[in-house]
Structures are given as C-alpha cells and as structure tokens.
C-alpha cells in the first residue's frame, strides 16, 4: 500500500469539504480523489470536474462498496455519524470524520464498538492538534513536564519551609475565543456554538492538560457568549471563554498554558511565546495557511494584514472581512491519518480521544441547560 497513492472518497460536499478537504486531497501526492458523494449531485459533479475525482454519487453505499477505496472523509451533517461509521467498519474502510464525532452518548458508544471490533483506522477532525504552533507547544510542554526545575530567576520565598502542595503538579489552561456573530451562517444558530465549535477547544484542553476530565461547568448561552470550566482528576483546570461579540480584525484564538512555573502562549496559531523555561526562545512564529497573506512574521503580520484588509474593504465597499488564516493543521492532520491508514503511525486523533472530547462537549451542553456542574465518567469513552 505504501508504494501507491491511497484512494479516498468524500461523503458530504458542503463548505468544509469543498473549501478544505477536497482541495487538500487533490493536492496531496499520496492521495487520489476517487469518489465525491452528495445529495446535490450537480454540486458534487462540479467539484469532481474541478479537482479530478473519478466518480460521483448521491448514495454513500457506492463509495463503501468500492473495493479500491482505502478511506473515506465524512463531512456531512452530524446526523449521519454513527450510521456511516458502522457501515464503513463492516466494509473495513478507514474513516476521517469531521467533528463532533457523534451527537449522543449512545451513538458514540456504537461508533467505539464498531471501530474496536473491526480495527479500522479512524480519525476525528480535531485538526488544531496537528497545527504547527500546537505541535511546537506540546513539544515544549512535554519536555518541561518530564524535566521541570525551579529556575534561578524565580523568587522562592517558601518552598523550603513547607511540604509540597498537590496544586504545584497541576496544569492550568486558558483558551480565549473571539468571534463575531454577524459572520455566522444562519444554520449555526440552530445547533449553537458549543457543539459546533467549542468541541475543538475542549479537545485542545484535554491535549494541553493531559489528564482525565471529571467535571464540567458551563455558564452563559449555548448559542454564543459562554464560559466552560473543566476540572480534571488531579485538580487541573481548563477555562474556555467564547465571545460572539468581538471583531475578526483582532486575533481569534489565544491559548495560555501554565505548569510548574512556566507559561506557554499561542496567539492565533501564528506565534508562540514561552517564559519560565531555560533555553527555549521567548518567541517563535509560524506562517499562516497562505504565507503571502502576511508581510511580517507572527502576530505582527496578522495586525498589519488586518490594517491593510480594512483599508481595502473601506475603499471597495465590501463587507466581507477576511484576513489571512492561520495554519489550523488541516493538511497535516489529513496526512498523518493517511500514514495511519498505511500502517506507518497512530491516528492524530483516535476514536477514544475524539469520544472524550465529544462526551465532554455534550456534558458542557447539559451543564448549560441545567445551570449546574455535570460529572464526567471515564467509562463513557473507554467502555467496551
């Protein structure tokens, strides 16, 4: 298998597939776009002509019944997750499924059972895990966790006078998300921001903290303007603050992780700042998805691009504020999963990790509805 391109089918040709998955598959020398499937066949046919897909259908069973297909990208609405993945498992097809992995605990349990029994490779589209900035941050954080130290410049007034505290072993993560509700498509108001978007950041919280979530509390609205607090088994905390009242000429995402006297900050996925760790540069930068969009590195490049974009929009009268997007890891996530399908490494977001993030998301929605904390059980994503 490693000597040929993998044949890929895409089921669901909406915005995410048309704008991201299909072009990335077509541009990847190790992949071959074999099928496009959508209820809107003319739409699928237009994308197939543009990107070189061999076959078009409105029935996903045509894709799964093709023995040449190695894996399928599922980018439909949430309603098809369990049904499709279980059908793919019966056919022995790997699946890259967009987030969220499922819509109910029962559906997630069914997916986990099918994946475990069949052994198919599965990846959940929590692509930020594979973003260059996140991977760099996790490399720094993992090395610091393995070999922490009290650096000479810290003012230590008390450690020699008391026993160690459990709190000193914890990780705290703050994830701030700035969004503008006017930019949303109408369907986003039906499902709300927690299931549709905050699942990404709950997954990142799990990645950064690297412990088992035990309790979640949501305050605010399931539509937008919410704060989600997650407590982990060792007392570590992750706080996600989401606002729909912001402006997209300000960076959308800021993540700050603190552990053992160190601070790692990721700013809009184009800049990482590190303090408290010896021999690590204070500032590292990462190019946006289209490097030509920035004329300076890091967050400075974003601000300068925002200034130029606003000036251009004022001149042309356009009301579409689009500023150079950061590399959110889509291409790398897909490529890592292709390697997994070839047997060359693990999935970048396994069924268990995807289930953990999705269960936590559903619990956050429940907490929002009930107005109180909700406990999380590890068995909900580990049970056979």
Which CATH number covers residue 259? Answer: 3.30.360.10
Tokens 């949303």, located at residue: 184
Q: Give the domain CATH number at 113.
A: 3.40.50.720
Averaged pLDDT, 337-358: 96
pLDDT at res. 321: 77
CA atoms within 13 A on the CB side of 194: 26
**pLDDT value for 57:** 97
Q: Is residue 235 part of a domain?
A: yes
- Asked whether 74 and 84 are in contact (CB, 8 A), the reply is yes
Domain assignment present for 99: yes
For residues 362 and 223, membership in a common domain is answered with yes
pLDDT for 265-286, tens place per residue?
999 999 999 999 999 999 999 9
Closest of 347, 344, 343 to residue 333, by C-alpha: 347
Q: Grade residue 201 by pLDDT with cuts at 50, 70 and 90.
A: very high
> Using CA of residue 301, residue 307, residue 309, residue 312, what is the dihedral sign?
negative
Asked if residue 80 is part of any domain, the answer here is yes
pTM here is: 0.94
User: What are the counts of helices (DSSP H) followed by strands (DSSP E) for the chain?
Assistant: 14, 15
The sign one gets for the Cα dihedral 98, 100, 103, 105 is: positive
Q: How does pLDDT run across 314-330, given as a tens digit for each residue?
A: 999 888 777 889 999 99
Burial class (CB in 10 A: 0-12, 13-18, 19+), 45: middle
Tell me how far apart the alpha carbons of residues 75 and 334 are, in angstroms, rounded to a whole number. 13
pLDDT category of residue 177 using cuts at 50, 70 and 90: very high
Q: Are residues 212 and 144 in the same domain?
A: yes
Over 60: is that where the pLDDT of 2 sits? no
- In a domain, residue 351? The reply is no
371, 226: one domain? yes
Residue 63 is assigned to a structural domain of this protein: yes
Answer yes or no: are the C-beta atoms of 211 and 360 closer than 8 Å.
no
Predicted confidence band at 1 (pLDDT cuts at 50, 70, 90)?
low
**Percent of the chain scoring above 90 in pLDDT:** 88
The phi and psi torsions of 78 (rounded to 5 degrees) equal -60, -25
Q: Spell out the alpha helix ranges (H) of the chain.
A: 15-16, 22-27, 41-51, 60-64, 81-91, 105-118, 132-146, 188-191, 193, 199-209, 298-316, 330-341, 351-370, 379-382
Please give the average per-residue pLDDT across 1-26, as a whole number.
Answer: 91
3-state secondary structure at position 358: helix
Residues 86 and 140 in one domain: no
All residues at 6 or more sequence positions from 246 whose CB lies less than 8 Å from its CB, including other chains: 178, 179, 180
Do residue 52 and residue 175 come from a single domain?
A: no
Question: ω into residue 100 within 30 of 0, thus cis?
Answer: yes
Q: Tell me, what's the pLDDT at 116?
A: 95
Q: Please give the order of strands across the beta sheet that includes 55-57.
A: 55-57, 31-37, 6-11, 71-74, 94-97, 122-124
- What pLDDT shows up at residue 50? 95
| The total number of structural domains that make up the chain | 2
Q: Which residues of 95-131 are buried (b: 16+ CB within 10 A; e: fewer)?
A: bbbbbbbbbebebbbbbbebbeebebbbbbbbbbbbb
- Does residue 382 carry a pLDDT above 80? no
User: What is the rounded radius of gyration, in angstroms, for the C-alpha atoms of the chain?
Assistant: 22
- Alpha carbon 130 to chain centroid, angstroms: 8
Structural domain includes residue 86: yes
Average pLDDT of 29-47? 96
The pLDDT tens digits of the residues spanning 109-149 come to 999 999 999 999 999 999 999 999 999 999 999 999 999 99
What pLDDT shows up at residue 383? 58
State whether 58 and 189 are in the same domain: no
Question: For residue 159, is it within any domain?
Answer: no
d(CA 201, CA 238): 10
Domain extent, residue 104, equals 6-126
Closest CA to 360 of 338, 380, 339: 380
- Cβ contacts of 348 within 8 Å, gap of 6 or more: 123, 129, 130, 332, 333, 336, 337, 340
How would you classify residue 62: left for phi > 0, otherwise alpha for psi between -120 and 50, otherwise beta?
Answer: alpha
Share of the chain above pLDDT 70, in %: 99
Q: Are residues 185 and 97 in the same domain?
A: no
Q: Are 381 and 359 in contact (CB under 8 A)?
A: yes
* Separation of alpha carbons 384 and 382, rounded Å: 6
């Amino acid at each position: 298998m490693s000597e040929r391109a993998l044949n890929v089918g895409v089921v669901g040709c909406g915005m995410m597939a048309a704008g991201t998955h299909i072009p990335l598959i077509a541009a990847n020398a190790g992949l071959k776009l074999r099928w496009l499937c959508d209820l809107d066949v003319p739409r699928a046919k237009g994308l197939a002509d543009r990107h070189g897909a061999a076959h078009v259908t409105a029935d996903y069973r045509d894709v799964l019944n093709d023995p040449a297909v190695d894996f399928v990208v599922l980018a439909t609405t949430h309603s098809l997750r369990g049904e499709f993945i279980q059908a793919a498992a019966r056919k022995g097809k790997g699946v890259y499924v967009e987030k969220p992995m499922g819509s109910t605990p029962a559906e997630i349990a069914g997916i986990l059972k099918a994946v475990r029994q069949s052994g198919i490779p599965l990846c959940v589209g929590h692509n930020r895990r594979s973003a260059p900035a996140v991977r760099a941050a996790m490399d720094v954080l993992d090395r610091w966790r393995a070999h922490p130290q009290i650096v000479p410049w810290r003012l230590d007034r008390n450690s020699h006078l008391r026993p160690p505290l459990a709190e000193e072993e914890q990780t705290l993560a703050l994830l701030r998300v700035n969004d503008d509700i006017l930019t949303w498509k109408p369907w986003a108001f039906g499902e709300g921001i927690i299931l549709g978007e905050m699942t990404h950041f709950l997954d990142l919280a799990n990645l950064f903290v690297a412990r088992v979530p035990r309790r979640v509390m949501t305050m605010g609205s399931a539509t937008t303007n919410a704060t989600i607090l997650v407590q982990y088994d060792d007392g570590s905390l992750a706080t996600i603050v989401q606002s729909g009242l912001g402006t997209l000429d300000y960076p959308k995402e800021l993540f700050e992780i603190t552990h053992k006297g160190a601070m790692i900050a990721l700013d809009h996925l184009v800049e990482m700042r590190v303090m408290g760790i010896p021999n690590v540069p204070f500032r590292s930068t990462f190019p946006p998805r289209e490097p030509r969009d920035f004329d300076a590195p890091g967050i400075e490049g974003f601000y300068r691009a925002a200034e130029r974009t606003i000036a251009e929009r004022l001149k042309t009268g356009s009301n579409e504020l689009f500023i150079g997007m950061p590399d959110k890891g889509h291409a790398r996530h897909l490529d890592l999963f292709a390697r997994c399908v070839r047997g060359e490494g693990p999935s970048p977001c396994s069924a268990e990790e995807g289930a953990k993030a999705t269960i936590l998301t559903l619990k956050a929605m429940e907490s929002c509805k009930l107005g109180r904390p909700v406990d999380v059980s590890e068995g909900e994503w580990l049970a056979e």
